[in-house]
Structure 1
């Protein structure tokens, strides 16, 4: 065989290997990213949101919240903790910026979510229950150019409507802490103030709350417990779970996963066709050599094994290289967070990836099996070559 034809054969082998490598790499990265999104969003949603939220219709305040809390706690052993919350929409203003926020009155005594464990500046500790102090998210702090010790102004409507001669409630608060969850919908919106101060600021009746945050021993029990709560308490109460609250996010993830089988099929077809092509080229180029081997007594099984091994090795090598590059990418992204996202669109600020060795096993197994199957046609053609015709072929 001439050097030129040998170079072409090597080039064809390289193209086949690269096609398998790119297919494996794209599958590993896409599966890792989608799993990372799902895991990170679920963890963040459960970590920074109560498992169940209990409210009253028409946003009416829940009066005598202690009695409701005690009844619910005694009646539902699945509940780990329940905390009264005061919550209302409002505006927050610095010297240079105004932003819409959700003001949440919370008590350190009942604090259920992990915001206090994600403070990046300052502290999660109010000096007293009626202090004009607040805690904001990092994204919001950046917009407001605020840091611990700065003063910000909160605006809200008393009883959810404009009264008091048409003016909103306005008070100045001091920033004592900045938290970061990594999810834009939290870091950009929630502002925490003391529970008692929120009651005074919103002009709520004494011993009233806007809602209850409920944490369960097992978050997977949330749908069932939520239905039982609605039936047990009746009107005017209703509840919803963390899964219902973030339904759009999880639905979005499922939609992203839906095309994966189709993509897998298309990539596999391309890889198989490339392997078939390179082996057919080898059969054509090596016909003379095959004839000589057949004339020397080599049986069909041995010739068959040559092409099967060659095709399978191309597929296996390409798959392992692709998976190796994919693993390296995932490790680098997990460690350094090189690829950043627009949190307002993708809910997270950093591209999440999750390394699952099950994915690697499936991709390697399927790719190698398809590579093996791709050798059937070229191998069958090779064993049908007769020695006399093959030796004459040049």
Structure 2
């Protein structure tokens, strides 16, 4: 072991002889532990919240959406799907029809968003089939002759309408039909074939899925026309780059947009908040480092004779400086390590047992999400040790400037 490491370790162990230095060492370790743990937990919560929200929202949406520049339907969509699927990086494509309607049952009325899908193709571009808790997505295409079309309802929507599997509800289109007595609303009956739970209250309370044929009939679209095309991206492919490629391939006849860019303001705000909290909470570690400055300064004052003797035996300024820097680093590394352990234990407990509950209708999730990312632990640990190192520099430099004669005389 190097002489500076050995002396730094001896000085650290000898703190129990000096109550003031011992107190400052303990408070420094506790302060760094709390600061490190708090910083890791807050960043983990923000990352977990962002990832959870992204996963739930992306579960009902595809990576890329292709629509017309206006509200005009996409015609001859089969040809467009084949053209898009031939592009490198595209995993699958599926048509969809979006519209709004008023849903009505014997027990309630609610405004909803209707999405018409191809049950087989939708499985390849979204995760909606995995969210269905009662029934299956294939039930949308299983229809007897003369029977109403099937519909999948969100959990909260089904509750508000008091509708269960096999019940019939009525959808009223905002488009009007012209009849002998003037304009009449278009109404269709649907049988509830399934109920889904995306984990996002807004989706559960306002979304419903029907077959693409039912949606075309409901809003009066021709058989070869849809609202747009959903596109799934292969793993490892940048969706932003692929959007640019798709737009070039379809010669800007239609508008391809990746889903994250469409919601960029939301996720940019979450990222900004995460970095802002990281900077603010780093101040806890900086405040804790002040105790390290005091601890080293008192140790330098207490060890004047030792420093003078070391200088007399030929120890250079860099060696003396290194002793006290290492003393500060021992405290910093110990406090940081304990903070990491505390943060990891709390993260595992909160994640496993869902200790902190959240109102689902506000936060889109029922418990506090924590993303255990070891890159976060590494970055926070490096920052904490770096702050400790910088805090140790000033008193360590003072020790290196001490005069040999003054050190022996003052003792």
TM-score (norm 1): 0.81
- Which structure 2 residue ranges, 5 or more long, are not aligned? 1-16
Residues 267-305 of structure 1 show CA distances to partners (whole Å, capped at 9, x for unaligned) of 342122121123334455x46xx5488679888678766
- Which structure 1 residue ranges, 5 or more long, are not aligned? none
Counterpart selection for 1:17 from 18, 23, 29 = 29
- SS at structure 1 position matched to 2:343: helix
CA distance in 2, matches of 1:228, 1:204: 29
- SS at structure 1 position matched to 2:121: coil
CA distance in 2, matches of 1:358, 1:235: 40
The equivalences for 1:39-50 within 5 A come to 39-50=51-62
- SS at structure 1 position matched to 2:232: strand
Deviation at 1:102, TM superposition (A): 1.2
The residue number in structure 1 matching 2:260 is 243
Deviation at 1:28, TM superposition (A): 0.9
Deviation at 1:163, TM superposition (A): 5.8
Residues 57-80 of structure 1 show CA distances to partners (whole Å, capped at 9, x for unaligned) of 442333443344344445x34433
The residue number in structure 1 matching 2:356 is 339
Distance 1:232 1:361, change over 3 A: closer
The residue number in structure 2 matching 1:274 is 291
Residues 158-178 of structure 1 show CA distances to partners (whole Å, capped at 9, x for unaligned) of 3xx686644433334333322
Distance 1:309 1:69, change over 3 A: closer
Counterpart selection for 2:131 from 92, 115, 118 = 118
- Contact 1:51–1:213 under 8 Å retained in 2: yes
Distance 1:225 1:316, change over 3 A: closer
CA distance in 1, matches of 2:35, 2:73: 56
CA distance in 2, matches of 1:331, 1:56: 47
Counterpart selection for 1:82 from 93, 110, 113 = 93
The residue number in structure 2 matching 1:99 is 110
- Contact 1:137–1:190 under 8 Å retained in 2: yes
CA RMSD, Structure 1 to Structure 2 (Å): 3.5
The residue number in structure 1 matching 2:12 is none
- Contact 2:89–2:237 under 8 Å retained in 1: no
The equivalences for 1:197-216 within 5 A come to 197-216=214-233
Distance 1:162 1:346, change over 3 A: farther
CA distance in 1, matches of 2:407, 2:80: 92
TM-score (norm 2): 0.78
Deviation at 1:327, TM superposition (A): 1.0
- Contact 2:39–2:282 under 8 Å retained in 1: no
Counterpart selection for 1:356 from 364, 369, 373 = 373
